[in-house]
Amino acid sequence: MTEKDIPFSPQEYARRISKTRQAMEQAGIDILFVTDPSNMAWLTAYDGWSFYVHQGVILRKDGDPIWWGRGMDGNGARRTVWMTEDNIRPYPDHFVQSTERHAMQHLGALLAELGGETARIGVEMENYYYSAKAHMTLEATLPRATLVDATGLVNWQRAIKSDEEIGFMRRAARIAETMIDGAIARARPGLRKNELVAAIYNDALTGVGDDWGDYPAIVPMCPSGADASAPHITWNGDQMQYDQCTFFELAGVYRRYHTPFCRTVWLGTPPDEVRHAEEALIEGLEAGLDAARAGNRACDIAEALGAALTKAGIERGARCGYPIGLSYPPDWGERTISLRSEDETVLEPGMTFHFMPGLWMSDWGLEITESILITDEGPAETFCNRPRQLFVKE
Amino acid sequence: MTEKDIPFSPQEYARRISKTRQAMEQAGIDILFVTDPSNMAWLTAYDGWSFYVHQGVILRKDGDPIWWGRGMDGNGARRTVWMTEDNIRPYPDHFVQSTERHAMQHLGALLAELGGETARIGVEMENYYYSAKAHMTLEATLPRATLVDATGLVNWQRAIKSDEEIGFMRRAARIAETMIDGAIARARPGLRKNELVAAIYNDALTGVGDDWGDYPAIVPMCPSGADASAPHITWNGDQMQYDQCTFFELAGVYRRYHTPFCRTVWLGTPPDEVRHAEEALIEGLEAGLDAARAGNRACDIAEALGAALTKAGIERGARCGYPIGLSYPPDWGERTISLRSEDETVLEPGMTFHFMPGLWMSDWGLEITESILITDEGPAETFCNRPRQLFVKE
């Protein structure tokens, strides 16, 4: 077996576990069972596309975390996690997508073996891949234990990034810039959208220098014209056309760390309505960046943006951003803070967000966004450095 | 708004809904709530990367299905589903990833409005994206309704493919062949894995002729050497090396229909152990294809394969295949039948499987697989047509 290539220092993982244990203690949790693939990777470095079957990481008050998953993925754990063999606990394959048994029966037995029979066990009830059935089966398997909702418990520990993490996101930002540059340069009437996305993937994965690109937690979006009125329509084989906008909603990814970045191109001459929206959006972005300071709150960013848009007669109705960092499909957000008027979370240095005030109108869309870092003082730093504008190709 | 491009005929959707209603009746379900994105698309043609927030399709005993999802995805529904505007029911954005409210509260109110207050409501407790918390919230919102586990109810209706669907899978197969051809042709010592995957994506998305390629529900896998001992490790920036195997686990995708296809390349001269395994695997594949006949059972395929492998001293321990067709991340299997000894499901014409007997050994891996169609008589037809062998590049 070749040398393991663990992405972060042992100190970084120790810091993460220590923070998580503090949160467990506050929540009165003896054993935490983490299923969100991003949380699993954040704690243990586990990396593999195996989240379509039940798996997780077990964290107790003492000792290293335990990876639990499908037998065939045990080798993947051996090759990616920083823990030793004792802490890799695979289950037999007949538990996989069986109509007779459930993997949570195996997990329940393991948790009992680890002293969890009457413990308070934290489970991520609203995180990805923890199904309703998984929860009911675990409850039935451990009738004397108390299952406690630990949704987002680890996600919240991830909000403030370490210098090592910010370094990864800066690398991802260089990749994101290359992707946007390439997409705008290639955009032309007649280009098929699937070919455009192929070129975007090429830039995404080739990366920058030695920094190879990883897969994004969301595929590249680049809807055109009326499809751009919908934020999550994926590509097809249609050709780009004159007098249409196309937005690029992309992320550069370096070793699972995402730096999302969006820009929009208009082929032809944008109508006044679009130019008007662009102007308001840029004003709102700049006001939001200025409000994105340590000590301010999440809602201050949203309100600074909202004021500029309202003045221009635009009502968005949706949140305008979310925390970013380590992610697996289906989402590259961290699902904790939301940049919206009701969220009063205080911003702290090291927090990272995708400030994402996309405009999806009746038959066009405009996305100009920034991934940002809250700094010790002054306005937020943007990870990417490209003109904040609608790109027009006459 | 431009003309909608619905993938299948109205008759096809009518057939699907009628089959599903029969299954609902058998299960005593008044209203079915479907969250699996593949099931949503299969019933309504909804297509978008929005499954990271709560959404679903509601099917009653009468009337067209109802799309329910996030406000901003309402436009995506308008542009992709075959139903009319009345049947698109978005929820406000403040339900998204909120710590104060849950989207299932909105759904509960909608179901009550639709007459579901005391109904038997089927929910997909073990399908993707239906979280434990979603279930508990829905239960609390509709205290007089009975929530019935409808896991896999729609998935089972998808098992036998229509001619229209098989047509899509044949197109996906042509794309899969191109992807494998390209990967094997490009493989050489010194090639970085991320660049290889970029080229694979290029073939995948460019497609074949007018048939543009869609995104796969699982990213391309191509681990080398000891990494190939683990089935689900994704790429990195390492170079391919002499005296190493690399397997390609890929799917061609045409409008969300997947035809998976795997081959392995060895750079240099494979050791006897690998040649021995290749021989047994091919014998097992051929025996399995011969057993894959209408009237036989799923386990017959697994046992035909197993006999050849056991004779050669190889114990796999994992299932050797699963049904395929329409899929969204994180999995391209249908999660109903499994090709393994305990599954006695009778094979019927029109069923489609990925016959996937991957070998993941201590420090190498070998994947030679076939996507297959059960025909009216005779052995299974393979969707792809490429030599069934280990590819060796000296």
pLDDT digits (tens, 9 = 90+) for A11-42: 999 999 999 999 999 999 999 999 999 999 99
Give per-residue pLDDT as tens, A158-170.
999 999 999 999 9
Tokens of B237: 């920036």
Q: How confident is the model at residue B2 (pLDDT cuts 50, 70, 90)?
A: low
Which residue among B1, B75, B342 places its CB closest to the CB of A94?
A: B342
B245 beta partners: B266
Per-residue pLDDT of A289-322, as tens digits, reads 999 999 999 999 999 999 999 999 999 888 999 9
Q: Which of B166, B174, B187, B298 is nearest to B248 (CA)?
A: B187
Is the confidence at residue A243, as pLDDT, over 60?
Answer: yes
Residue A305 distance to chain B (closest CA, Å)? 17
Q: Give the CA angle between residues A368, A369, A372 to the nearest 5°.
A: 155
**Residues B41, B198, A326, B246, CA torsion sign:** positive
The predicted structure's pLDDT at residue A317: 84
Q: DSSP per residue over A359-381, as a string?
A: EE-SS-EE---EEEE--SSSSPE
Q: Give me the residues of B, 325-354, that contact A with CB < 8 A.
A: 329-331, 333, 335, 338, 340, 342
The predicted structure's pLDDT at residue A4: 84
pLDDT of residue A275: 97
Alpha-carbon distance A287 to A379, whole Å? 10
Strand partners, A324: A333
Strands (E), chain B: 31-34, 56-59, 66-70, 88-91, 120-123, 146-149, 244-254, 257-267, 321-323, 352-355, 359-360, 365-366, 370-373, 381-382, 391-393
* DSSP β-bridge partners for residue B282: none
pLDDT of residue B4 exceeding 90: no
User: Residue A1: what pLDDT?
Assistant: 43
Burial A242-256 (b: 16+ CB within 10 A, else e): eebbbbbbbbbbbbb
Position B98 scores a pLDDT of 85
- Which residues 6+ apart lie within 8 Å of B274 measured at CB? B245, B266, B364, B366, B390
* Structure confidence at residue B362 as a pLDDT band (50, 70, 90): confident
Mean pLDDT computed over A342-351: 97
Does residue B9 sit in helix, strand or coil? coil
Cα(A204)–Cα(A197) distance, rounded to whole angstroms? 10
Tokens of B17: 């809904």
Among chain B residues, the shortest Cα distance to A136 is held by B132
Q: pLDDT tens for residues A75-114?
A: 999 999 999 999 999 999 999 988 889 999 999 999 999 9
pLDDT, average across residues A264-277: 97
Question: Do the Cβ atoms of A391 and A265 come closer than 8 Å?
Answer: yes
Q: Where are the alpha helices (DSSP H) in chain A?
A: 10-26, 37-44, 74-80, 103-113, 132-141, 153-157, 163-186, 193-206, 272-291, 298-311
| Strand A88-91 with A66-70, pairing | parallel
d(CA B112, CA A74): 45
CA dihedral B96, B100, B103, B104 (to 10 degrees): 160
Task: Give the pLDDT score at A31.
Answer: 98
**Which residue, among B50, B88, B133, would best test binding to A if mutated, counting the most A CBs under 10 Å from its CB?**
B133
Beta bridge mates, B261? B250
pLDDT confidence of residue B99 = 81
> Which residues between 91 and 150 in chain A have a beta carbon less than 8 angstroms from any beta carbon of chain B?
92-94, 96-100, 102, 123, 125-136, 149
| Phi and psi torsions of B178, nearest 5° | -60, -40
CA distance B193 to B177: 20
pLDDT exceeds 70 at position B15 = yes
pLDDT for A66: 98
Q: Which residue of B has its CA nearest to A127?
A: B131
* For residues B164-183, average pLDDT: 98
* Residue A2: pLDDT band with limits 50, 70, 90: low
| pLDDT of B317 above 90 | no
Sort residue B295 into left (φ over 0), alpha (ψ -120 to 50) or beta.
left
CA nearest to A235, candidates B326, B198, B49: B49
CA B300 remoteness from chain centre:
22
What would the mean pLDDT of A40-46 be, rounded to a whole number?
A: 98
Pairwise CB contact (< 8 Å): A133 & B149: yes
Q: What does residue A251 show for φ and ψ, rounded to 5 degrees?
A: -140, 135
E strand or H helix that includes residue A264:
strand A257-267
Query: How far does B230 lie from chain A, in Å, by closest CA?
Result: 5
pLDDT of A217-237, one tens digit each?
Answer: 999 999 999 999 989 999 999
Domains in chain A, CATH or no CATH each: 10-157 (3.40.350.10), 163-393 (3.90.230.10)
Q: Which of B94, B123, B230 shows the shortest C-beta gap to A79?
A: B230
pLDDT average, residue stretch B137-163: 98
Residue B1 has pLDDT above 90, yes or no: no
Helix, strand, or coil here: B27? coil
- The helix-helix angle for A103-113 and A132-141 (nearest 10°) equals 40
Supply the pTM of this predicted model.
0.97
- Give the integer Cα–Cα distance in Å for A158 and A130: 19
User: pLDDT over 70 for what percent of chain B?
Assistant: 99
Please indicate whether, in this complex, the C-beta atoms of A197 and B205 are within 8 angstroms of each other.
yes
Residue type at B131 in one-letter notation = S
Q: Determine the Cα–Cα distance for residues A378 and A375; give it in Å rounded to an integer.
A: 7
Residue A392 · residue A188 · CB < 8 Å: no
The predicted-structure confidence for B95-120, as pLDDT tens digits, reads as follows 998 888 999 999 999 999 999 999 99
Q: Does B307 touch chain A (CB under 8 A)?
A: no
Query: Where do runs of H (alpha helix) occur along B81-123?
Result: 103-113
What pLDDT, in 10s, does the model give residues B16-47? 999 999 999 999 999 999 999 999 999 999 99
Matching residue, tokens 């904040």: A388
